[in-house]
Amino acid sequence: MRRLKRGVLIVFEGIDGAGKTTHAKLLEEWLRNEGYNVTLTKEPTDGEIGYLVREHLRRKDFHPATLALLFAADRMEHIEKELKPRIESGEVVISDRYVESSICYQAADGVDAEWIESINKWALNADLTILLDVDVQTAMRRMESKVRDKYEEGDFLEKVRNIYLERARRKGYSVIDATSPLMKVQMEIRRLVLQLMKEKW
């Protein structure tokens, strides 16, 4: 088993239908085969608060700021119970969504972005944030057969995508064109991860 001096947190971000879940899984398998101790996790989590959030995303009945608070609360439990201990023990942790999802989605839903940042201030910094960028038409086509949650509408996702791209420029996140063939996207992701690992040995 390969050991890192300190674990790392790799985050996938992007609008619904960008392919985050697929790529996070492919990356997890590849890193495991390469000998790393890997955990794949996601937000909202499968914990109690995550469950509550999913329920209200389906029912579309909570105020956007209430959702922002719940996402932040779910994240705090996630960080304290899962992310911190795993990173401290030298694991590679891959999270399908993290703080940027709150900033981009809840801001697109009318919540003040600075306030969202402030309620997430205590969150661990990710070592690598990868934005899988896809146009909304492609994303909607990929979700065609799915029952739509609160945020899975074209006009809304357009807003979210623009906020993601603007923040990625400002914060220096890695942006990958996720409309490219699957393995081309995955190879680009692996290249970024290898670069990160080299810095962390």
**Contacting positions for ligand TMP (CB under 6 A):** 16, 43-44, 57, 71, 97, 101-102, 105-106, 149, 151
- Rounded to a whole number of angstroms, the minimum distance from the CB of residue 100 to ligand TMP is 8
Which residue from 145, 104, 126 is spatially nearest to 12, judged by alpha carbons?
126
Nearer to ligand TMP, 36 or 164 (CB): 164
Nearer to ligand TMP, 87 or 107 (CB): 107
Q: Which residue is nearest to ligand TMP (CB)?
A: 105
- Rounded to a whole number of angstroms, the minimum distance from the CB of residue 153 to ligand TMP is 10
Nearer to ligand TMP, 41 or 102 (CB): 102
Q: How many CB atoms lie within 10 A of CB 50?
A: 20
Say if CB 174 and CB 130 are below 8 A apart: yes
- Rounded to a whole number of angstroms, the minimum distance from the CB of residue 21 to ligand TMP is 7
* Cα 23 to Cα 50, 132, 160, distances in angstroms: 22, 9, 20
- Rounded to a whole number of angstroms, the minimum distance from the CB of residue 8 to ligand TMP is 20
* Cα 58 to Cα 136, 141, 149, distances in angstroms: 20, 20, 5
Q: Most distant CA pair in the chain: distance in Å?
A: 47
Nearer to ligand TMP, 4 or 76 (CB): 76
